[in-house]
Amino acid sequence: MNDLLDRILNLPKHQKIGLLAAVILLLVVFDYLLVYSSYSYQIANLEESVVGAQRERDKKRAIIADKPKLLEQLQLADGRFKEAVAQLPDRKEIAALLTNISNRAREGGLEVLLFRPRPEIMQEFYAEVPVDMVVRGKFHDAVGFFDEVGRLTRLVNLNNIEMKNPKPAGERMNLDTSTLMTAFRFLDDAERAKVAAEKAAKEKAAKK
């Protein structure tokens, strides 16, 4: 060891400087290998986390920027839902609706010959309530009645309208007008669950 130090000390000045530079370079390389490289994996993970956080921040900023638009869309959807609810009565209201329609026919100068509900047809969240209806009266009165029913806030469809048996009634003719009237109502929670269970059972049976 002493011989090595003596040799180094006896070297010319320019060789000593070169040797010192080599030692410094080795120390730098050693520092990189042991210190920086050991943290490079953590640095990469941190950079990835930063990028992910920036993306999440930008996404939230976009949501905040669109908040007025989202609120407007929510209000529109809520309005459409309320309109649907207004058009579809529940079970308790359907009887009153049908009675109201029958009364309107009589008030419009028509004689109600038949007003017979058929079995309800269940859908996923609503039920169709078909009713066979036959009224007798003047053509103008029948047309006025159907127009009035079509303008109800409740949704009511009139199908298969047929006029027959014309008979003189003063200056005008009386007609028997038949139609299949269909009202609609919301299903309650128990009814929707029953419909869903029956649908699932049918799908399961079809797969066998």
What tens digit of pLDDT does each residue of 100-151 get?
899 999 999 999 999 999 999 988 888 899 999 999 999 889 999 989 988 8
How far is residue 84's CA from residue 86's CA, in Å, rounded to a whole number?
5
Residues 32 and 125 in one domain: no
What amino acid is encoded at 9 in this protein?
Answer: L
Whether residue 50 is found in the same domain as residue 138 = no
Q: Are residues 157 and 95 in the same domain?
A: yes
Pick the last residue of a domain from 65, 99, 118. 65
73, part of any domain: no
Are 101 and 150 in a shared domain?
yes
* pLDDT, mean of residues 35-52: 60
User: Reduced to 3 states, what is the DSSP secondary structure of residue 122?
Assistant: strand
125 with 189, same domain? yes
pLDDT at 59 over 70: yes
Average pLDDT over residues 32-47: 56
Q: Is the pTM of this model over 0.75?
A: no
C-beta separation of 88 from 126 below 8 A: yes
Q: Is residue 138 part of a domain?
A: yes
Same domain, 148 and 94: yes
CA distance linking residue 176 with residue 112, whole number of Å: 10
Instruction: Report the pLDDT value the prediction gives residue 105, as an integer from 0 to 100.
Output: 92
Six token digits for residue 134: 């036959």
Q: Is the same domain home to 57 and 115?
A: no
Query: What per-residue confidence (pLDDT) applies to 119?
Result: 94
- Residue 8, in any domain of the structure: yes
134 and 173 belong to one structural domain: yes
Say if residue 132 is in the same domain as residue 51.
no
Structural domain harbouring 99: 89-193
Q: Which of 78, 72, 77, 85 is nearest to 155 (CA)?
A: 85
Give dist(CA 199, CA 193) in Å, integer.
10
Name the average pLDDT for the chain: 77
Q: Which residues contact 121 (CB under 8 A, 6 or more apart)?
A: 127, 128, 130
Residues 59 and 95 in one domain: no
**pLDDT at res. 106:** 93
Query: How many structural domains is the chain composed of?
Result: 2
User: What's the angle, vertex CA 94, arms to CA 92 and CA 100, rounded to 5?
Assistant: 120
The verdict on residue 75 lying in a domain is no
97 and 168 housed in the same domain: yes
